[in-house]
Copies of this chain bind each other. A is one copy, B any other.
Amino acid sequence: MAYVTCDVGISADGYAAGPHQRLDHPLGEGGTERLHRWMFETPDENRAELDAITAADAFIMGRNMFSPGRGEWDLQWQGWWGDDPPYHQPVYVLTHYPRADLVMAGGTTFSFVTGGIQEAFDRARESSGDGRISVAGGAATINQFLTAGLIDELRLHIAPLTLGAGERVFDGVPALRLEQMSSRSASLVTHVTYRVLR
């Protein structure tokens, strides 16, 4: 059985991104750069959690996490992460628009999946040999996986701000029973890891 984790940085009111995401505001408007201050300003303090985010055998993400574009692909766009993305494994990108695989340096290959979350999940499970799969975001993708009961371990990284609008984790997801596996406080974030009970 694959083991599926999900890391997501959220505001205290549960938003993973503000409204109006676009190229110059990849996480939307409203002070969202503060969502991830802990990553950039206190990385040493949060090394274990940061390392865990990219410690999987395959990744799944929504198109909006890969690209600011919508509609037909701009084939020049190769993701937000430069030549050597931090994944180093297959990454399955959910999209309605077919695109050929994009092989990057360091072992990261982006594959574009048009068959929805089940196809992405099946392909990630196959490529990982039933290993560890990370659902990398954004909120809409996470919510689809939570609703489908496909996430085993949910890691919230709660930042000290509220956004009041945007893309909210858990929106539209039926009530979940969770087990608090661990919780750790750092200076700019509270990390909470839940096991999703079936």
CB distance from A181 to the nearest CB of B (A): 9
- Whole-angstrom distance between the alpha carbons of A186 and B183 in the complex? 8
Interface centre among A14, A174, A189 (most CB of B within 10 A): A14
Name A31's contact: one of B158, B175, B179, B189 (CB within 8 Å): B175
- A182 interface residue, CB < 8 Å from B? yes
B177 near A188 with CB under 8 A, answer: no
* Chain B residue nearest in CB terms to A169: B13
Q: Is A26 an interface residue (CB 8 A)?
A: no
Q: How many residues of A contact B (CB 8 A)?
A: 35
A173 at the interface (CB under 8 A from B): yes
**Contacting pair A13 B14 (CB below 8 A):** yes
Residues in B neighbouring A169, C-beta threshold 8 A: 13
* A189 partner residues in chain B, CB cutoff 8 A: 180
Q: Of A78-86, A101-109, A130-138, A159-167, which binds chain B? A: A159-167
Q: Are A176 and B158 in contact (CB under 8 A)?
A: no
User: Which of B158, B160, B174, B179 makes the CB contact (< 8 A) with A164?
Assistant: B174
Contact of A190 among B31, B183, B188 (CB under 8 A): B183
| CB-based contact A163/B175 at 8 Å | yes
